[in-house]
Structure 1
Amino acid sequence: MKIGVSRPAELDIELIAARMGIIVDYIPGPSKGVEVGSHSIIMLNNSLSPALQWQEFAHELAHILRHSGNQYILPHDFRMLQEWQASHFALYFCIPGSMLQDIDLPNSKQEAILKVMDTFHVTPTFASARIDQWFNHIFF
C-alpha cells in the first residue's frame, strides 16, 4: 500500500523494485539478495518461469527488508529460521490478504488454486499454501 500497489495487476517485479529503489538483475545462477553499500540488489535466476521469479523476488526481498549480514556465517538453525521467515513473507507479499479478500474464490480447492494462480501469477504449490494459510487465518 505504501508504494501505491493495490491491485493484482500491479504486482510486478520491475514496478515494485523501482518504487522501492531496488536493483533487479537476471543471472544464470541461484537467486539471491544482497546489499552493496546503500544499494539493495536482487539477482534472479534467468532460467526460472515468471511465476518462480516472482516468488523468489519476494523471498529475497524479505531477506533484504528483515535480515542483515551474511546469512551463510550464521548457525544452521538461525539460518533455517530466516529461510522460514522469508518463505512465509513471500506468501503474503505475492498474494496479499487485502487483495485475496476481494476475490470470489470458488468452493472447490482445485478451482480456487487455479483462480489464485491466474490472478497472482504464482505456481500451484504456492497458491495452495497461501489458500491454506488464508483459510486457517479466517477460521482458526
Structure 2
Amino acid sequence: MYTHLEDYIYELYTSIGIKNPADLDKQIIAKKLGVDIIYEEDKLFRFDNEISLIRNTERQEWMDFGHEIGHYLRHCGCQLNMHPLFIDLQEWQANNFAYHFCVPTFMLDKLYNYKIYDIMQLFNVDYDFAYRRLEMYTNKMRTGGFFDEGYLTRA
C-alpha cells in the first residue's frame, strides 16, 4: 500500500510518461511540467515557474531538483515572512519529497536483489541519498506501515 506522497509521485510520473529509471531526466521532466531551470551562483530557490539550481555534478543537480520541484509542486507563497518552524516543516517536506521523487517507490518495487550502489547508478543519486532512501523503503516494507504496528486498536 502506497502513501499519499508515493501515489502522488506515481500519478505525476505516469501522467508525463516517466516509467523507468532511465526516463528520470530533470530537463525533460521540467519541460513536461512547464518549469524552467535556471542556474545561479550560490542559491537554490523556486520562483513562479522557475527553479534555480547551482551548477554541480549531475547527481547533485538531480537531487537538488527533486527538492526544489517538491517546493514548486507542493508549496505556495514565499518563505521570507514565514515563522521559522513553518520554514523547517516545508524544508523537511521538500527533502522527503526529493527522496521519493528521485528514487520512486513504484520503480524500486520492480527491482530484485539490489544494493546501495545499484540505486546510486540506476537513479543517479549519491551514496548517502541512496542509503537513506533504501532505509526508508526497507523500513516501510518490514513494518507494513504505521497502522499495522498496533498504533490503532479496536475497542
TM superposition score normalised by structure 1: 0.90
The aligned counterpart of 1:14 is: 27
Question: Cα distance, 1:21 vs. partner?
Answer: 0.7
Residue identity matched to 2:91: E
Residue identity matched to 2:36: I
Q: Distance in 1 between matches of 2:50 and 2:118?
A: 31
The aligned counterpart of 1:109 is: none
TM superposition score normalised by structure 2: 0.81
Q: Does 1:134 align with 2:137?
A: yes
Q: Distance in 2 between matches of 1:73 and 1:105?
A: 47
Q: Does 1:73 align with 2:86?
A: no
Q: Does 1:41 align with 2:54?
A: no
Q: Which of 32, 53, 63 is 2:61 aligned to?
A: 53
What RMSD, in angstroms, separates the aligned Cα atoms of the two structures? 0.9
The aligned counterpart of 2:15 is: 2
| Structure with more of its chain in strand, by fraction | 1
Q: Distance in 2 between matches of 1:71 and 1:32?
A: 10
Gaps of 5+ in 1: 107-111
Task: Provide runs of 4+ in structure 1 moved above 4 Å.
Answer: none
| Residues 47-103 of structure 1: CA deviation (Å, up to 9, x unaligned) | x21111101101001111111111121101110000000000000000001111111
